């Protein structure tokens, strides 16, 4: 990949010099200022300003990015208001393939990690299955909702797909045939997110009615309802071992704006709360255990901040502010040290966890 977008093939020497100078100008414009808070070992919280040159790759989308998910340790899949689904190599900064088929904004992405298959949901009331090794058209389409599809989860064996919508309905699909096998509807259950529990027949769901439900896919029945929160639940994520989950709350001015840890084996009260954001928390992830001596999670919010938390104590370990990004819409683990963060105004941010001076988070690229 040419450095800083300079193309030097067969150019006269004076043109090379002009382009080099232009590239240097671009480098200056790519210096990013971000603020972050760091919790020192002695308990004192320092606020620092970091100014770093941030690589800017070719943008994945024209306009805001609604969602990003990791397909493998090199590729991510994203969707946005431009109606496209994009497979992107975030290590090289290249678009691998652009998929078209949705008629409105893409709202959710669900990947089968390590597979070439993935799924998307949209405001056009459909979900679609795509194959990275196939054509740029959908391999399967799932139509059955009356409103925007806001939840999307695929089973561990990739044989079933669960979709949820603002129409208060969950649908269970056979991935191979595209046929709807089960339908369930609960009054006022406006679905905000779905997550399949690894190696289990259960699907976790958050809702605008402020509840978190655990569904049994065998018959699509509610297996458990967690104690209701005070605010709309926007998102949920399940740990790799399937034992714990985190849900996120909407809010404003610090009211609400928290994430909550739950034990799926106890299913009574939340274990821990993570408070510190000032606007809606839109996404959360469990971070790889190799990163720290304690289990940690990360959250992203409409307040432009990504925070790292001690999972057990609720202490905020680090805060990175992505200034000018607008609301942060989605968060995904790229590899053992990298996070991908989708935003409303600045595309997708590549973040790297640094451990040289304790636990820190730095933006290294955007696309």
Does residue 230 contact residue 255 with C-beta atoms inside 8 Å? no
pLDDT digit string, tens, across residues 206-219: 999 999 999 999 99
Whether the predicted pLDDT of 10 surpasses 70: no
The residues pairing with 361 across neighbouring beta strands, listed in sequence order, are 353
**HEC string for 288-332:** CHHHCCCCEEEEEECCCEEEEEECCCCCEEEEEECCCCCCEEEEE
Whether the predicted pLDDT of 23 surpasses 90: no
Residue ranges in the chain assigned as alpha helix (H): 13-29
Does residue 343 contact residue 349 with C-beta atoms inside 8 Å? yes
State mean pLDDT over 291-295. Answer: 92
> Strand 169-174's sheet: what is its strand order?
149-154, 160-165, 169-174, 180-185
pLDDT digit string, tens, across residues 98-119: 999 999 999 999 998 879 999 9
State mean pLDDT over 239-268. Answer: 94
Q: Tell me the two tokens of residue 159.
A: 């044989």
Domains in the chain with CATH codes: 54-143 (2.40.10.480)
Whether the predicted pLDDT of 2 surpasses 50: no
d(CA 237, CA 201): 16
Whether the predicted pLDDT of 40 surpasses 60: no
The Cα-based distances of 250 to 71, 149, 208, 283 in angstroms read 27, 19, 9, 10
Handedness of CA 328, 332, 335, 337 (dihedral sign): positive
State mean pLDDT over 84-106. Answer: 97
The Cα-based distances of 60 to 23, 83, 105, 267, 286 in angstroms read 21, 12, 14, 39, 25
State mean pLDDT over 62-89. Answer: 97
State mean pLDDT over 169-198. Answer: 97
- Predicted TM-score (pTM) of this structure: 0.87
What's residue 22's pLDDT? Answer: 35
More confident of the two residues 244 and 44: 244
State mean pLDDT over 51-55. Answer: 76
Phi-psi region of 220 (alpha: psi -120 to 50; beta: other; left: phi over 0): left
The label of the residue with tokens 């009331």 reads: 125
- Give 272's Cβ-side CA count (13 Å radius): 16
What's residue 45's pLDDT? Answer: 56
Question: Quick one: pLDDT band at residue 32, thresholds 50, 70, 90?
Answer: low
State mean pLDDT over 299-325. Answer: 97
Q: Which of 150, 131, 52, 49 is nearest to 85 (CA)?
A: 131
Query: How large is the C-alpha radius of gyration of the chain?
Result: 21
């Amino acid at each position: 990949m040419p450095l800083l977008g300079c193309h030097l093939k067969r150019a006269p020497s004076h043109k090379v010099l002009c382009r080099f100078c232009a590239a240097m100008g671009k480098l200056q414009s790519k210096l990013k200022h971000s603020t972050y808070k760091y919790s020192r070992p002695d308990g004192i919280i320092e606020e620092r300003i970091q100014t770093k040159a941030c690589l800017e790759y070719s943008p994945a989308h024209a306009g805001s990015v609604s969602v990003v998910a990791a397909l493998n340790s090199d590729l991510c899949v994203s969707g946005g208001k431009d109606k496209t689904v994009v497979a992107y190599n975030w290590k090289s900064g290249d678009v691998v393939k652009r998929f078209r088929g949705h008629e409105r904004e893409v709202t959710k992405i669900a990947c089968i990690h390590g597979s070439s298959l993935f799924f998307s949901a949209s405001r056009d009331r459909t979900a679609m299955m795509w194959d990275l090794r196939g054509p740029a058209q959908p391999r399967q389409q799932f139509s059955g909702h009356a409103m925007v599809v806001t939840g999307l989860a695929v089973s561990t064996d990739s044989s079933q797909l669960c979709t949820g919508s603002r129409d208060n309905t969950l649908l269970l699909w056979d991935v191979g045939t595209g046929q709807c096998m089960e339908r369930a509807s609960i009054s006022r259950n406006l679905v905000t997110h779905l997550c399949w529990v690894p190696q289990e027949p259960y699907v976790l769901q958050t809702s605008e009615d402020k509840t978190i439900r655990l569904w049994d896919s065998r018959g699509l029945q509610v297996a458990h309802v967690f104690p209701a929160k005070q605010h709309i639940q926007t998102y949920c994520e399940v740990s790799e071992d399937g034992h714990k989950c985190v849900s996120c709350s909407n809010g404003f001015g610090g009211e609400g704006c928290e994430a909550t840890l739950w034990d799926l084996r106890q299913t009574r009260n939340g274990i821990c709360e993570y408070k510190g954001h000032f606007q809606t928390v839109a996404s959360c992830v469990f971070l790889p255990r190799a990163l720290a001596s304690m289990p940690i999670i990360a959250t992203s919010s409409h307040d432009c901040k990504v925070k790292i938390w001690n999972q057990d104590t609720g202490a905020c370990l680090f805060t990175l502010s992505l200034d000018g990004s607008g609301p942060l819409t989605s968060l995904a683990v790229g590899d053992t040290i990298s996070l991908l963060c989708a935003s409303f105004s600045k595309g997708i941010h590549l973040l790297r966890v640094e451990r040289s001076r304790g636990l820190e988070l730095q933006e290294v690229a955007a696309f």
